[in-house]
Structure 1
Amino acid sequence: MAAAHRAAVLGSPIAHSLSPVLHRAAYQALGLTGWSYDRFEVDEDALPGFLAGLDGGADAGTWAGLSLTMPLKRAVIPLLDEISDTAASVEAVNTVVLTPDGRRLGDNTDIPGIAAALHERGVDKVERAAVLGAGATASSALAALAGICTGEVTAYVRSAARAAEMREWGERLGVRVRTADWADAAEALTAPLVVATTPAGAADALADAVPERPGTLFDVLYEPWPTALAAAWSARGGAVVGGLDLLVHQAVLQVERMTGRGPAPLAAMRRAGEAALALRPT
């Protein structure tokens, strides 16, 4: 019998997460029959206790890794033994590797996942870019754009406080960031690369402002899909990278880090994700 290994995704809310579908598809394709991947509803207050339980529970020694979603990406950092430079650059951890000797190693696969998803669509360098929004995903987008955008990134935000945060992230990450008011977000759509990091529905009103010849849109949402903006973008002939692309690419890296096996089966994981989304009510 294959040795048992466990992994899981933690967050709150978590019932919608596609991570179990993607990771289980990878285990099946890689022949990892002893591996399981679950989801757990865990908020910031419950996180320390959950991690402590992994060390002393009946399954101690079988845990290999954790995927983290909101609101845990920053809350987990004080509970780790070490974090990667990538995670430290945006103060966000979405991946924890649990080593056999009990160490907790934090990493961020969102940043390389964004870059890999864009590379897959042929976007490796752009002269300028626009970011819609200013949350945690926006800072990861800026970190990815540090290696992609040779010029200025304009961030469209709703408050002076958010604008200041994005400029600070730009300074830390080595990205030239200009901020603009959300009321002027339609002008963002003329950029060669637009990264939409806003919640569902927030950018729908921009659909009517898509230019005749749009560049590339990276919309980080995957449900509902397509968003109004993504649909309008495609109708105009623009290239669209979606949230499922990001989810799959970052999960590929998580699988490889947690299992020590690779390359992870990108195509099989994407097919599993698409099939699962197709079954969800619209």
Structure 2
Amino acid sequence: MMRKSMLVGLIGSNITNSLSPVLHEDAFATAGIAGHYHLMDVNRLKGRQLETLLAAARTAGFAAVNITQPFKEAVIPLLDEVSAGAQQVGAVNTVVIDPSSRLIGHNTDRSGFRRAFEETLGRDAAAGKPVLLLGAGGAGRAVAFALMDVGVERLMIYDTEQARAAALCADLIVKSGITHGAFVADPKSAARTAAGIVNATPIGMLGHAGMPIDDALVRSEQWVADVVYTPLETQFVARARAKGCRAMTGGAMCVHQAADAFQLFTGLVPDVRRMRRVFDEACAGRDAALAAMA
């Protein structure tokens, strides 16, 4: 039986400007559910840790929570069950709390990035081609598997923590039998051969200003993609567009991963086109307000 009311939320750092509440609460209203989406930002909830916030959500009767950086990998040991897909990725961004209060982890970042990529840049942009991935954390892990899903010829992974990039490469081989992934110690040579570059780090997000890679390494014939959507047009995306690159912002991924998460929350398939319209309107308003404050 579908719930008439539902409490869900998001646990993470630096999430004050998240558009998840707008997306999910509109989808709840459209489905006839009295739903509330609550942000739990560890930057503001001083002294609160992931484990205590999960416990509080379970006690308060939450139906589910989304998980974002820096907790997508750290949450796994705290769960009662992890879906096969999330196990393969090695990261969780959605935790459903079942009627017996068990915590079940899923990953909708992988499917969200894949669908966004196919919709925005097209599968052929990566299929059979070398791609450079910046970042091997929770988001990077999901993106890596999504890029494998669309058939990259070679995935080159760079992370400032080299051991993390090497671990992701090893997981790609062990968990999917793929042998054409490699970690790189320096992105310069990889960027020269890459058909496209994906930023899966927080760099460029509000509060994490800067570029994830030297702008001089991005060429006009390449495409770029970013998982960041606060702001929607990151410096990385803006500079690449200025060079003539095809570019994908983090907006489409946000919408598609949210749609998949909503289905896990409710069992209902949301109207993705409506979610995109809601996102675009909310994002434009948010970014205008942020620009006015700058």
Where on the TM-score scale, by shorter chain, does this alignment land: which range? 0.7 to 0.9
TM-score after normalising by structure 1? 0.84
Distance 1:95 1:272, change over 3 A: farther
Distance 1:230 1:239, change over 3 A: same
| 1:278 CA drift (Å) | 2.7
Corresponding residue for 2:116?
A: 117
| Alignment partner of 1:52 out of 55, 65, 74 | 55
CA contact (8 A) 2:134 2:158 kept: yes
| Alignment partner of 1:192 out of 185, 191, 195 | 195
| 1:146 CA drift (Å) | 1.7
Secondary structure in structure 2 of the residue aligned to 1:37: strand
2:21 maps to 1:20: yes
Could you list the per-position Cα deviations for residues 196-221 of structure 1 after superposition, in whole angstroms to 9, with x for gaps in the alignment? Answer: 1231245366323432322x211112
Q: Percent identity?
A: 30
2:185 maps to 1:206: no
CA contact (8 A) 1:230 1:240 kept: yes
CA contact (8 A) 2:17 2:230 kept: no
More moved, 102-111 vs 229-238 = 229-238
Corresponding residue for 1:180?
A: 184
CA contact (8 A) 1:29 1:268 kept: no
Q: Which runs of 4+ in 1 moved over 6 A?
A: none
Letter in 2 for 1:40: M
How many residues in Structure 1 have an aligned counterpart in Structure 2?
Answer: 274
Distance 1:41 1:205, change over 3 A: closer
2:105 maps to 1:106: yes
| Alignment partner of 1:223 out of 226, 230, 233 | 230
Secondary structure in structure 1 of the residue aligned to 2:224: strand
Secondary structure in structure 1 of the residue aligned to 2:188: helix
Distance 1:76 1:114, change over 3 A: same
Secondary structure in structure 2 of the residue aligned to 1:130: strand
Corresponding residue for 1:134?
A: 136
CA RMSD of aligned residues (A): 2.7
Q: Structure 1: 5+ residue runs without aligned partners?
A: none
Secondary structure in structure 2 of the residue aligned to 1:134: coil
| 1:151 CA drift (Å) | 1.4
Distance 1:118 1:141, change over 3 A: same
Could you list the per-position Cα deviations for residues 32-89 of structure 1 after superposition, in whole angstroms to 9, with x for gaps in the alignment? Answer: 3x111111234896333333344444xx3xx321111123323322332211111111
CA contact (8 A) 1:213 1:238 kept: yes
TM-score after normalising by structure 2? 0.81
Secondary structure in structure 2 of the residue aligned to 1:16: coil
Distance 1:134 1:102, change over 3 A: closer
Corresponding residue for 1:96?
A: 95
CA contact (8 A) 2:112 2:253 kept: yes
Distance 1:178 1:192, change over 3 A: same
Distance 1:27 1:165, change over 3 A: same
Q: Structure 2: 5+ residue runs without aligned partners?
A: none
2:81 maps to 1:73: no
Could you list the per-position Cα deviations for residues 106-152 of structure 1 after superposition, in whole angstroms to 9, with x for gaps in the alignment? Answer: 10111111101001124224212111233322221111112113411
CA contact (8 A) 1:204 1:228 kept: no
CA distance in 2, matches of 1:183, 1:52: 40
